[in-house]
Structure 1
Amino acid sequence: MTRMPRQGAAAQRGFTMVELMVSLLLGLLVVAAAGSLFMSNKRVYGATESINRIQENQRGAFEILARDIREAAGNPCMRFDGAYTDKVGVELAAPDATFWSRFPNGVFGQDGTGANGSDEITLYSANSSIHNVEKHAKSADAITVSTATDDLSNGQLLMVCNNDYAIAFSAVGITPTGTTIGHNGAANCGNNLTRPSAGANTCALANANPAYCFWQGVAGTDCPGGFGTSPAYVSAVTSALWTVANNGRGGTSLYRTNADGASEIAEGVTALKVSYKVGSGTDYMNAAGVVAAGGWSQVQAVHVQMTFQAVRGALGKGDVTGTDNAALSRTLDDYIVLRNHQDIQ
């Protein structure tokens, strides 16, 4: 009988407990290393994404704000530099005194009135929705323009101007494909457009002034105040308030407010500081300093400093904080020159 060789006990045994524990330890070390690398990469990605969002908000915010600042005090006709006493003739039955006291200067600021003690700046202009005047031969006539008025609306605040005068009024009679702009509605002082004069903007004063025609007029009873010989234009009058305010999501944002309401421009803006260069001065001063110097009409440039903070959103808490556990933030400065103030032209 042939006998099969008997296998030794040593050949049949498995891993020992020590070997198993060493294997598990090595495996855990590999997993831990891979996990640490993954978490490190995830944190770098999160931080990079947060910085990218901050930079994107910075670009958008400064681009729009800088555009408003450059265009402040702009209008299609002239710089309001005292060619006539009241700068702009306001033929509105209930004019906004605050608005019109600031409008000719184009810029106005306040210190520390926004969220977190941020500054505010308001920019005024009349350089949008511009239409060439083709005819205004009688003062009480509607103004005929060269292009359709589909970008205007009834009740909108407009300004008609040439190289001599500027008059603000509320639009009536606007139709989508029309080319005439009326000024004889109840919101205005009457049928006639009249030359600006010294004193407060009241209907009684406006109605006492001589009637004026802006184009193709004939001197006489219809235009006792004269008629325009230079090109005339109708433009929409606008203002934009820039401020930092609570956004309702536990943080603050940069807002731009105009006649259509407030628009959120950039999230995560925690501070806005604004200072102004007045006339030939070399230093920038805050809004209180400009008021004391009576220098709003002589502001040549604006220094804007904004602080942006990372916003969590869909990111993890660790993605928006630095090594000191404080929120990631960046502060950016810009110096913006106004194009439309008299001593700049």
Structure 2
Amino acid sequence: MKPRGFTLIELMISMLLGVVVIGGALGVILANRQSYRINEGLSQVQESARTAFELLARDVRQAGVTGCNNDGRVANVLNDEGEWWQSWFGLQGYDGAQADGAVDFGTASPDNRVPGTDSILLQGIEGMGHSIVQHELTAASFRIGAPTSEIEEADILMVCDFDHAAIFQATNYSSANVTFEDTGDTVSPGNCSHGLGYPTVCGNPGNSYVYGSNSQLARVAAVDWYIGDNGRPAEGGRSLYRLRLGATAPEEIVAGVTDMQLRYRADVSGEFRAAGDVRDWAAVSAVTITLTLRSADPRIVTGPTDNSGRLERQFTNIVTLRNRVP
């Protein structure tokens, strides 16, 4: 029998079957790749949300903490130079159209807050504080129980007992001795008085008050959380930022956070209100935080003209202020 090859029809059928098989394999590969990109984008968004809520919620929980009580009796002898952190407020929120004093509106740099996004200012103390051994009123000094590297000259400090708290600036720190002269010549903003009684009275002797042993001394913490432009449009362009008292520049906390909306519980009704509807910030006991996050990689989902196809999710968390729990 003579050998024979494939006919043209048989070759064409074979090629067609091959194309079908290869096309199916490519379809499976592309589907798996797209599924991987979606899962990776979702994981990225969820991880970013966890990080953002963990760090932001930590500051919210500590808002208004003086270390001794929560009655709102806080004296403040700092010279008023209009800094965003100088007045004691504990917590202050701002709607998307309200300026917060710490950062200006704009989209040119991380020093600016994106219009339409909420922001929040928070104050408290850093760490557990240091125990007072002796308060010398005439010398305007505190002696603490042990030397520490946590306190430096020009630090903004808070001293408290169960009567009230007072904010002042250290003009010198040596070993375990903190002085706070009533002058602005050596440090800025300086103190208007060395009398740390409540209410505040500037001048000398001011409102004289002696803090007893075992009173607490700690550094004041103040932070502003906001949404800013990170200068990386290829990754989405926005991030969650934190500006701290004493820092030279804001810190980029989490990339991909495009919006932050805040609501506050400030009365016994339990209703959460926008910042513009809060009448008494000292009464705020909880904050609802809603963050919108987008994946860094584009073209993950359908509709590439919408957010360049980035995966977008909203997350909401309610945070209670520890020192204002009923």
The two structures have a TM-score, normalised by structure 2, of 0.82
1:89–1:195 Cα contact (<8 Å) kept: no
Secondary structure in 1 aligned to 2:225?
Answer: strand
User: Is the alpha carbon distance of 1:117 and 1:194 closer, same or farther for their aligned partners in structure 2, counting shifts above 3 Å?
Assistant: closer
2:92–2:281 Cα contact (<8 Å) kept: yes
Aligned to 2:252: 264
Deviates further, 53-62 or 27-36: 27-36
Q: How does 1:1-345 map to 2 (within 5 A)?
A: 10-11=2-3, 13-82=4-73, 87-90=74-77, 92-96=78-82, 98-101=84-87, 103=88, 105-113=89-97, 114-115=113-114, 117-128=116-127, 130-174=129-173, 178-184=175-181, 186-187=186-187, 188-189=190-191, 192-197=194-199, 205-215=202-212, 231-250=214-233, 251-259=237-245, 260=247, 261-290=249-278, 293=279, 295-312=280-297, 317-318=298-299, 320-322=300-302, 326=306, 327-341=310-324, 344-345=325-326
For 1:270, give the aligned amino acid: T
Displacement, 1:36?
0.8
Deviations 1:148-181 (A, max 9, x none): 3212222111112222242222224335xx3222
For 1:28, give the aligned amino acid: V
Deviates further, 299-308 or 205-214: 205-214
For 1:17, give the aligned amino acid: L
The structure whose Rg is larger is 1
Residues of 2 paired with 1:215 and 1:282: CA distance?
A: 39
User: Is the alpha carbon distance of 1:49 and 1:268 closer, same or farther for their aligned partners in structure 2, counting shifts above 3 Å?
Assistant: same
Secondary structure in 2 aligned to 1:117?
Answer: coil
Displacement, 1:325?
6.5
For 1:303, give the aligned amino acid: T
Q: Percent identity?
A: 28
Displacement, 1:198?
5.2
2:137–2:195 Cα contact (<8 Å) kept: no
Residues of 1 paired with 2:81 and 2:133: CA distance?
A: 27
Displacement, 1:300?
1.4
The count of corresponding residues between Structure 1 and Structure 2 is 298
Residues of 1 paired with 2:206 and 2:263: CA distance?
A: 40
For 2:76, give the aligned amino acid: G
User: Is the alpha carbon distance of 1:191 and 1:276 closer, same or farther for their aligned partners in structure 2, counting shifts above 3 Å?
Assistant: closer
2:195–2:206 Cα contact (<8 Å) kept: no
Residues of 2 paired with 1:163 and 1:94: CA distance?
A: 26
Secondary structure in 2 aligned to 1:174?
Answer: strand
Displacement, 1:29?
1.6
For 1:256, give the aligned amino acid: R
Displacement, 1:43?
0.2
Deviates further, 189-198 or 35-44: 189-198
- Which one has the bigger helix percentage? 1
For 2:242, give the aligned amino acid: R
2:135–2:141 Cα contact (<8 Å) kept: yes
Displacement, 1:95?
4.7
Residues of 1 paired with 2:281 and 2:315: CA distance?
A: 24
1:149–1:180 Cα contact (<8 Å) kept: no
User: Is the alpha carbon distance of 1:190 and 1:268 closer, same or farther for their aligned partners in structure 2, counting shifts above 3 Å?
Assistant: closer
Displacement, 1:210?
4.7
Deviations 1:58-92 (A, max 9, x none): 1111111111111110121222434xxxx3232x3
Secondary structure in 2 aligned to 1:88?
Answer: strand
> Which ranges in structure 2 are unaligned for 5 or more consecutive residues?
98-112
Displacement, 1:271?
1.5
Residues of 1 paired with 2:238 and 2:191: CA distance?
A: 42
User: Is the alpha carbon distance of 1:122 and 1:283 closer, same or farther for their aligned partners in structure 2, counting shifts above 3 Å?
Assistant: same
Residues of 1 paired with 2:205 and 2:171: CA distance?
A: 22
User: Is the alpha carbon distance of 1:206 and 1:89 closer, same or farther for their aligned partners in structure 2, counting shifts above 3 Å?
Assistant: farther
For 2:281, give the aligned amino acid: W
2:198–2:207 Cα contact (<8 Å) kept: no
